[in-house]
Chains A and B, each alone.
Chain A
């Protein structure tokens, strides 16, 4: 257990429905990352927060994806109008880094496995 939790662990939804995932990072960590991972692939960067500010977002990310970190603590990732291609493991990671320095050690949560039918 890394101290990063994600909820739910599994989600099955029908195509066209909206889903929301939650990530609770390690409390003192100021950076939070969302990744998507499909079978046999490495995690794919989606977006990143420093405290409550969303500072980077993948150019490949559809407008159907949105993320928030309202108080600089937990974060939510919402997918609207889900498609079968959205089926994947959604991973959250947190780290503690100062200033503009590169991300430090990232601690990953267990992930939320999304299946779109």
Chain B
């Protein structure tokens, strides 16, 4: 079945440093979504990417969808303590509604 892997599994950064998480799917995706889950909380939608090679920015966050639509990345510039949490990518296959979440990257920001 479809698998979505993320690396790294954990990342500790000093406040102000940049952070990147990478997402890889075993199959070509139709769309990819990104979510953030704070400790003890539920996933919160960040963005959806649809087009091959698409790049979207939200303030300090930059999201990319690979040309082959099998990988994606999230980059955070100048991390802040409010960025702490686990970041999940979630892939959707064409013609399906099932959303397959990745393994997640847990970000810890050291003040």
Minimal Cβ-Cβ distance residue in A for B50: A102
B102 close to A (CB within 8 Å):
yes
In the complex, which residues of chain A have a beta carbon less than 8 angstroms from the beta carbon of B50?
A: 102
State whether B104 touches A41 (Cβ < 8 A).
yes
Query: Are B103 and A106 in contact (CB-based, < 8 A)?
Result: no
Of the listed stretches B51-59, B75-83, B93-101, chain A binds B93-101
B97 and A103 contacting across the interface, CB-CB below 8 Å: yes
Number of interface residues of B (CB under 8 A): 25
Tell me which of B13-21, B39-47, B65-73 binds A.
B39-47
Contact A102 B45 (CB under 8 A): no
A102 with B30: CB separation less than 8 A: yes
- Most A Cβ at <10 Å: residue of B35, B50, B102: B35
**Nearest A residue (CB) for B45:** A105
Q: Are B97 and A108 in touch, CB under 8 angstroms?
A: no
The answer, among A100, A105, A111, for a CB contact under 8 Å with B42, is A111
A107 touching B104 by the CB < 8 A rule? no
Contact A110 B31 (CB under 8 A): no
- Whether B104 pairs with A42 at a CB distance below 8 angstroms is yes
Interface assignment of B63: CB less than 8 Å from any CB of chain A? no
Q: Which residues from B are CB-within-8-Å of A35?
A: 101
From A33, A58, A102, A103, residue with most partner B Cβ within 10 Å: A102
Chain A residues with Cβ below 8 Å from B4 are 42
| Chain B positions within 8 Å of A91 at CB level | 42-43
- Docked Cα-Cα span, A106 to B101, in Å, equals 12
Q: Which residue of B lies closest to A4 (CB)?
A: B42
Q: Are A41 and B99 in contact (CB under 8 A)?
A: no
With beta carbons under 8 angstroms apart, the residue of B31, B43, B48, B104 that contacts A108 is B43
14 A-B pairs with C-beta separation under 8 A: A33-B99, A35-B101, A40-B104, A42-B4, A42-B102, A42-B104, A43-B43, A43-B101, A45-B99, A93-B43, A102-B97, A106-B43, A108-B43, A109-B42
Name B residues whose Cβ lies closer than 8 Å to a Cβ of A.
1, 4, 30-31, 33, 35, 42-45, 48, 50, 88, 90, 92, 95-104
